[in-house]
C-alpha cells in the first residue's frame, strides 16, 4: 500500500499557507535560468503557470494542441469566478468560501488545499484587473458581483457571459509577454503522448507535431500537466472537441496515481440533444437559474400535447406547472447545487414528464423575471446567452421558455497531487482541472476558474521551487538518454499499430459507443449491476477497437483521425478505470448517485464511515487490475453533515 500523505504544513488551517511560504526553499535568480520546466496545456492553469514561471526567470517550454494558446477550453467558461472579497458586505469571507467549497464538494476534498484556494482567491481578482480583464462594473466604477449556483452570498465576478474568455485572454497576454521576453518558448499544435521518467523523476515529454507528424523529444527538470478534464470520455459533453486525457493518462501509466476518476460533474443547464449526429453539447451558464424558473407540466396529457407541438408551453396554466425544484427544495429552490438540479431533471424525465421532441428536456422560464424587471434588464444580464440559444435551437427565449437538460461538464477526479500539487512521480506536477484536489465530489459554480488561476499564478510558482531547489546542480537533461529512446520507440510502435490495424470502423464510431456506455451506466445514476455490465461492454469495445479501427491518411502528415484514435484509445482505458472506481464507491455523494445508497425519500445518502477518503488508483500494467489506494480525509474544521437544501 502506497502511503498517501498530502504533506500539508503542521499549523492551524488558516496559517498553513503563510507558514508554507515563509519556510519554502527558494531558487536564486542565477540558478533559475539554468532550470527548464515543461508546462503542458495553455488554459487558465497552464497559461498562468507558464507566464509566472517565465516571469520568475525559469526556462519554460509551453505546449498546446491548439493552433494558439488562446483557444484552450477555459475560454468557454461563461458564468464567473468566485473570490472572497466581500465587496458586497453580505457576510462573505475566506472561511465561508472555504466552508461552502468543502460542503459543496460533499466532504470529499482536502481541507488544507481548499482553505488555501479560498485564501488566495482575492489576489486573483486583483491581478486580473491589473491585466486589464474587463469585469462587469457598477456605475460607481467599482466591480460588480452576482450570486451563483449553490451559495448565499454574491461573490462571483463576471464579464458578461464570457468570463472564461476574458480571464484566458488575460493569462494568454501574460504568457505572450513572456514569450516575447524569451523566457517561454511556445510549441503549438503538439500532442504530448508520453512522459519520460529518468531515475524515478519526470524529465521530459514525447510529442507529436500535429502538422508534420514528426515525433519530438523535449526535456526539463520538472514537468507540469495542466491538460484539463476528461469529460470527453462521454463523447457528448460541453468540452471542446480536442479536449483529451492523453497526457494525464500517460502520467498514470508511468506511475502517477489517478484519484477519484468516477467523480464527474453533470451540469444542469445545457441545450438538449437534437439527434444522432450531434457532436457536442452547449452549456448555458447556470447564472440563468438566478432569474429563470425550472418546470415541467404536472399532467402527462400536457406533456404529450407539447411533444406533438399541439400546444405551446405558455398555454399551460400556472396551476398546471410543476416547479419541481421549488417544490422539493423550498430553501434554495432553483439555486440548488448542480448535482441536485441535474438529478432532479433526470428524475422528472425518467418519470415521463420530460418535454421537447426527445422527452429529455425541462423548461427554464424567464417570463416572471421579464414581467418583474423588464426585458431590457434580462437582456443586459443574459443577452448573449439568449442569442446563442436562439441560434442553436431556433426559439426565442424572451417569448417562450428555454429547454434544458443536464450534460457532462467537468471532471473533479484527476491525477492525485499532494499539498504542493506534485503527483506521486517526483518532479511531475498537475494543476487545474487536471488534478483532483479541490472540488471533492462536486464542484461549485464559478470555482473552476478560481482554482485554475490559483494553481497557476500563486501556488505552483512557490511549491515547484521547493523541488527545484534540489535540482540546481543537475545540468540540462539530455534527450539522448536511453529513457528518451525507449519512450520514442514505444510511441512509434503504438502509432504504427494504430495505423496498421486497417479495420473497417471509424474512430468516431468507437468514441460514440464508449460515450453511450459511460452515460448510461456511469453517469448521474449508477448501480452495481449496471457498472458490472459496463465493465464487460468496455472490455469488448477495447478489443474491437484494437482489431477494427480504420485510420486513413499517413503518419508523417496532418492527420486528425490518427490524433483522435490515440485519444479515444486512452479514453476507453480511462472508462474502464472510472467504472471500477464507481463500483468500489458504494455511496451516493456529490455529483453522482449510487442507487443502492439513498434515503427513504430518494435523496443521495453519503457513507462517511466507509468512504470519507480519496480513492487513488495505481497502474499495474496492461491487462492487470489496477490497485486502489486510499488517502483518508480528516475534517478537523468543518464537521461533515448530510447536505440539505430543503
Partner 1 sequence: MIFTLKIWRQKNASDKGGLVTYKAEDISPDSSFFEMLDQLNQQLIAKGEDPVAFDHDCREGICGTCSLYINGRPHGPLKGTTTCQLHMRSFRNGETIYVEPWRCGAFPVIKDLIVDRSAFDKIIQAGGYVSVNSGGIPDANTIPVPKPDADAAFDAAACIGCGACVASCPNASAMLFVGAKVSHLALLPQGRVEAEHRVQKMVATMDSLGFGNCSNTYACEAECPKEIAVTNIARMNREFLAAKIFAEKEKQISFTL
Q: What is the DSSP secondary structure assignment for residue 10, as one 8-state letter?
A: S
**Dist. CA 562–CA 568, nearest whole Å:** 10
How many other CB atoms are found less than 10 A from the CB of residue 224? Answer: 32
Indicate which single residue of 236, 388, 464, 468 sits in contact with partner 1 (rule: CB under 8 A): 388
Q: How far is the CB of 197 from partner 1 (least distance, A)?
A: 30
C-alpha cell at 466: 521547493
Is residue 330 a contact residue for partner 1 (CB under 8 A)? no
Closer CB to partner 1, 234 or 353, in the complex: 234
Render 468-520 in DSSP notation, one character per residue: HTT-TTPPPPPTTSHHHHHHHHHHHHHHHHHHHT--SB-HHHHHHHHHHHHHH
Closer CB to partner 1, 42 or 342, in the complex: 42
Indicate which single residue of 280, 360, 533, 628 sits in contact with partner 1 (rule: CB under 8 A): 280
- Going by DSSP bridges, is the β-strand pair 59-63/184-187 parallel, antiparallel, or unpaired? parallel
Closer CB to partner 1, 211 or 299, in the complex: 211
Give the 3-state secondary structure of 329-365. CCCCHHHCCHHHHHHHHHHHHHCCCCCCCCCCCEEEE
Indicate which single residue of 18, 23, 68, 641 sits in contact with partner 1 (rule: CB under 8 A): 68
Kindly write out the interface string for residues 507-536 of this chain, putting x where it contacts partner 1 by CB under 8 A and - elsewhere: -xx---------------------------
Is residue 123 a contact residue for partner 1 (CB under 8 A)? yes
Is residue 616 a contact residue for partner 1 (CB under 8 A)? no
Judged by phi (left if over 0) then psi (alpha if -120 to 50, else beta), residue 286 lies in alpha
Is residue 459 a contact residue for partner 1 (CB under 8 A)? no
Closest CA to 370 of 296, 319, 314: 314
Which positions ≥6 away from 214 have C-beta within 8 Å? Answer: 208, 556
Closer CB to partner 1, 255 or 383, in the complex: 383
Closer CB to partner 1, 277 or 600, in the complex: 277
Closest CA to 432 of 85, 185, 86, 73: 73
Residues 533-572 that bind partner 1 (CB under 8 A): 550, 552-553, 557-558, 560-561
Kindly write out the interface string for residues 103-122 of this chain, putting x where it contacts partner 1 by CB under 8 A and - elsewhere: -------------------x
Size of the site for partner 1 (CB under 8 A): 84
Is residue 24 a contact residue for partner 1 (CB under 8 A)? no
Which range in 100-108, 156-164, 291-299, 470-478 contacts partner 1 by CB under 8 A? 156-164
Is residue 277 a contact residue for partner 1 (CB under 8 A)? yes
Indicate which single residue of 1, 28, 29, 142 sits in contact with partner 1 (rule: CB under 8 A): 142
Is residue 21 a contact residue for partner 1 (CB under 8 A)? no
Q: How far is the CB of 162 from partner 1 (least distance, A)?
A: 7
Which range in 304-312, 391-399, 527-535, 570-578 contacts partner 1 by CB under 8 A? 391-399
**Dist. CA 222–CA 176, nearest whole Å:** 22
Q: What is the DSSP secondary structure assignment for residue 40, as one 8-state letter?
A: E
- Give the largest Cα separation in the chain, rounded: 76
Is residue 501 a contact residue for partner 1 (CB under 8 A)? no
Is residue 400 a contact residue for partner 1 (CB under 8 A)? no
223 SS3 class: strand
Residues 183-222 that bind partner 1 (CB under 8 A): 186, 188, 211
**Dist. CA 565–CA 495, nearest whole Å:** 9
**Dist. CA 181–CA 547, nearest whole Å:** 49
Q: How far is the CB of 86 from partner 1 (least distance, A)?
A: 11
**Dist. CA 378–CA 366, nearest whole Å:** 8
Is residue 182 a contact residue for partner 1 (CB under 8 A)? no
Is residue 180 a contact residue for partner 1 (CB under 8 A)? yes
Is residue 463 a contact residue for partner 1 (CB under 8 A)? no
Indicate which single residue of 112, 113, 147, 165 sits in contact with partner 1 (rule: CB under 8 A): 165
Which positions ≥6 away from 95 have C-beta within 8 Å? Answer: 14, 118
Which range in 31-39, 48-56, 468-476, 571-579 contacts partner 1 by CB under 8 A? 48-56
Closest CA to 637 of 269, 99, 54, 156: 99
C-alpha cell at 217: 523529444
**Dist. CA 177–CA 181, nearest whole Å:** 6
Indicate which single residue of 16, 42, 62, 66 sits in contact with partner 1 (rule: CB under 8 A): 66
Which range in 234-242, 423-431, 488-496, 617-625 contacts partner 1 by CB under 8 A? 234-242
Indicate which single residue of 132, 330, 536, 602 sits in contact with partner 1 (rule: CB under 8 A): 132
Amino acid at each position: 500500500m502506497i502511503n498517501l500523505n498530502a504533506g500539508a504544513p503542521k499549523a492551524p488551517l488558516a496559517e498553513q499557507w503563510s507558514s508554507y511560504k515563509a519556510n519554502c526553499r527558494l531558487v536564486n535568480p542565477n540558478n533559475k535560468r539554468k532550470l527548464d520546466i515543461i508546462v503542458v496545456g495553455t488554459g487558465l492553469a497552464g497559461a498562468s503557470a507558464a507566464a509566472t514561471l517565465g516571469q520568475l526567470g525559469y526556462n519554460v517550454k509551453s505546449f498546446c494542441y491548439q493552433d494558439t494558446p488562446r483557444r484552450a477550453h477555459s475560454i468557454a467558461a461563461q458564468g464567473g469566478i468566485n473570490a472572497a472579497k466581500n465587496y458586497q458586505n453580505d457576510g462573505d469571507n475566506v472561511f465561508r468560501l472555504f466552508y461552502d467549497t468543502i460542503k459543496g464538494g460533499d466532504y470529499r476534498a482536502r481541507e488544507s488545499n481548499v482553505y488555501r484556494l479560498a485564501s488566495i482567491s482575492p489576489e486573483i481578482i486583483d491581478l486580473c484587473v491589473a491585466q486589464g480583464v474587463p469585469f462587469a462594473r457598477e456605475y460607481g466604477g467599482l466591480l460588480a458581483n452576482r450570486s451563483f449556483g449553490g451559495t448565499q452570498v454574491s461573490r462571483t465576478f463576471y464579464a458578461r457571459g464570457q468570463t472564461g474568455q476574458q480571464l484566458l485572454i488575460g493569462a494568454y497576454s501574460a504568457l505572450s509577454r513572456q514569450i516575447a521576453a524569451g523566457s517561454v518558448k511556445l510549441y503549438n499544435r503538439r500532442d504530448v503522448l508520453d512522459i519520460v521518467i529518468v531515475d524515478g523523476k519526470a524529465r521530459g515529454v514525447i510529442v507529436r507535431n500535429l502538422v508534420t507528424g514528426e515525433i519530438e523529444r523535449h526535456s526539463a527538470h520538472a514537468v507540469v500537466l495542466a491538460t484539463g478534464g476528461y469529460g470527453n470520455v462521454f463523447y457528448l459533453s460541453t468540452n471542446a472537441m480536442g479536449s483529451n486525457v492523453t497526457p494525464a493518462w500517460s502520467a498514470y501509466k508511468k506511475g502517477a496515481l489517478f484519484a477519484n476518476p468516477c467523480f464527474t460533474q453533470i451540469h444542469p443547464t445545457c441545450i438538449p440533444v437534437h439527434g444522432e449526429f450531434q457532436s457536442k453539447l452547449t452549456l448555458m451558464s447556470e447564472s440563468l437559474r438566478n432569474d429563470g424558473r425550472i418546470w415541467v407540466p404536472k399532467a402527462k396529457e400536457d406533456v404529450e400535447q407539447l411533444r406533438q407541438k399541439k400546444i405551446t408551453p405558455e398555454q399551460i396554466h400556472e396551476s398546471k406547472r410543476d416547479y419541481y425544484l421549488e417544490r422539493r427544495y423550498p430553501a434554495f429552490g432553483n439555486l440548488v447545487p448542480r448535482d441536485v438540479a441535474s438529478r432532479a431533471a433526470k428524475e422528472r424525465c425518467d418519470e415521463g414528464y420530460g418535454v421537447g421532441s426527445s422527452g429529455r428536456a425541462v423548461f427554464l422560464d424567464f417570463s416572471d423575471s421579464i414581467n418583474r424587471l423588464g426585458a431590457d434588464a434580462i437582456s443586459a444580464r443574459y443577452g448573449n446567452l439568449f442569442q446563442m440559444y436562439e441560434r442553436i435551437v431556433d426559439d426565442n427565449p424572451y417569448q417562450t421558455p428555454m429547454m434544458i437538460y443536464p450534460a457532462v461538464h467537468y471532471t473533479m477526479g484527476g491525477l492525485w497531487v499532494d499539498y504542493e500539487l506534485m503527483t506521486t512521480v517526483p518532479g511531475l506536477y498537475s494543476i487545474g482541472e487536471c488534478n483532483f484536489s479541490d472540488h471533492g465530489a462536486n464542484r461549485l459554480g464559478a470555482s473552476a476558474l478560481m482554482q485554475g488561476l490559483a494553481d497557476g499564478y500563486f501556488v505552483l510558482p512557490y511549491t515547484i521551487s521547493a523541488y527545484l531547489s534540489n535540482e540546481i546542480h543537475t545540468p540540462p537533461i539530455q534527450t539522448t538518454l536511453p529513457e528518451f529512446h525507449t519512450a520514442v520507440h514505444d510511441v512509434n510502435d503504438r502509432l504504427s499499430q494504430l495505423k496498421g490495424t486497417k479495420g473497417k470502423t471509424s474512430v468516431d464510431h468507437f468514441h460514440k459507443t464508449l460515450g453511450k456506455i459511460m452515460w448510461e451506466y456511469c453517469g448521474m445514476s449508477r448501480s452495481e449491476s449496471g457498472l458490472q455490465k459496463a465493465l464487460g461492454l468496455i472490455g469488448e469495445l477495447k478489443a474491437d477497437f484494437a482489431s477494427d479501427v480504420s485510420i486513413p491518411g499517413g503518419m508523417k502528415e496532418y492527420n486528425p483521425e490518427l490524433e483522435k484514435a490515440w485519444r479515444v484509445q486512452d479514453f476507453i482505458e480511462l472508462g474502464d478505470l472510472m467504472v471500477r472506481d464507481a463500483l468500489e464507491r458504494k455511496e451516493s455523494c456529490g455529483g453522482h448517485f449510487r442507487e443502492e445508497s439513498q434515503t427513504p425519500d430518494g435523496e443521495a445518502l453519503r457513507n462517511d464511515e466507509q468512504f470519507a477518503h480519496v480513492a487513488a488508483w495505481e497502474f499495474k500494467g496492461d491487462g492487470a487490475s489496477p490497485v486502489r489506494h486510499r488517502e483518508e480525509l480528516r475534517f478537523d474544521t468543518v464537521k461533515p453533515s448530510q447536505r440539505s437544501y430543503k
